[in-house]
Amino acid sequence: MSTATKSTVKMGKHEMEFGSKYLGLLRDSNDILNDVQALHARMDEDGYLLLRGLQKRSNVEAARHMLIENLDKNGQIDRDFPVMDAVVKKGSGGKFLGGAQAITHTPEFLGVVDSPEIMGFFDRYFGEKSLTFDFKWLRAVGPGDNTGAHYDVVYMGRGSGRLHTCWTPLGDIPLELGTLAVLSGSHKLEAYRKLRETYGKMDVDRDKVQGSFSNNPIEMVDRFGGQWLTGEFQMGDVMIFGMFTMHGSINNMTNRYRLSCDTRYQPASDPVDERWVGKNPIAHYGWNVGKTKTMEEARKEWGV
Ligand SMILES: O=C(O)CCC(=O)C(=O)O
Q: What's the mean pLDDT in 210-235?
A: 97
The answer on pLDDT for 94 being more than 80 is yes
Q: What is the per-residue pLDDT for 247?
A: 98
Residue 10 maps to a domain: no
Q: What is the per-residue pLDDT for 3?
A: 55
Pocket test for ligand 1, best of 170, 213, 251, 262 (most atoms within 8 A of CB): 262
Distance from the alpha carbon of residue 168 to the mean position of ligand 1, in angstroms: 9
Band (pLDDT 50/70/90 cuts) for residue 221 is very high
Residue 5 maps to a domain: no
Q: What is the per-residue pLDDT for 303?
A: 96
Cβ–ligand 1 contact at 245 (below 6 Å): no
Cβ–ligand 1 contact at 180 (below 6 Å): yes
Residue 154 maps to a domain: yes
Shortest-distance atom of ligand 1 to CA 150: 7
The answer on pLDDT for 235 being more than 80 is yes
Residue nearest to atom 8 of ligand 1 (CA): 262
Cβ–ligand 1 contact at 249 (below 6 Å): yes
Cβ–ligand 1 contact at 2 (below 6 Å): no
Cβ–ligand 1 contact at 210 (below 6 Å): no
Choose among 139, 140, 138, 136: nearest CA to 114: 136
Residue nearest to atom 7 of ligand 1 (CA): 248
Band (pLDDT 50/70/90 cuts) for residue 184 is very high
Specify the CATH number for the domain of residue 206: 2.60.120.620
Band (pLDDT 50/70/90 cuts) for residue 2 is low
Distance from the alpha carbon of residue 147 to the mean position of ligand 1, in angstroms: 7
Distance from the alpha carbon of residue 287 to the mean position of ligand 1, in angstroms: 17
Band (pLDDT 50/70/90 cuts) for residue 189 is very high
What rounded mean pLDDT belongs to the chain?
97
Distance from the alpha carbon of residue 133 to the mean position of ligand 1, in angstroms: 16
Shortest-distance atom of ligand 1 to CA 178: 3
Residue 1 maps to a domain: no
Distance CA 187, CA 232 (A): 22
Domain that holds residue 283: 16-302
Q: Which position has the higher pLDDT, 2 or 117? A: 117
Residue 24 maps to a domain: yes
Residue 276 maps to a domain: yes
Residue 8 maps to a domain: no
pTM metric for this prediction: 0.97
Distance from the alpha carbon of residue 83 to the mean position of ligand 1, in angstroms: 24
Q: What's the mean pLDDT in 13-37?
A: 98
Band (pLDDT 50/70/90 cuts) for residue 4 is low
pLDDT tens-place string over residues 238-296? 999 999 999 999 999 999 999 999 999 999 999 999 999 999 999 999 999 999 999 99
Band (pLDDT 50/70/90 cuts) for residue 5 is low
Q: What is the per-residue pLDDT for 1?
A: 52
Q: How many domains does the chain have?
A: 1
Distance CA 203, CA 200 (A): 8
Cβ–ligand 1 contact at 152 (below 6 Å): yes
pLDDT tens-place string over residues 108-166? 999 999 999 999 999 999 999 999 999 999 999 999 999 999 999 999 999 999 999 99
Residue 7 maps to a domain: no
Distance from the alpha carbon of residue 153 to the mean position of ligand 1, in angstroms: 13
Distance from the alpha carbon of residue 150 to the mean position of ligand 1, in angstroms: 9
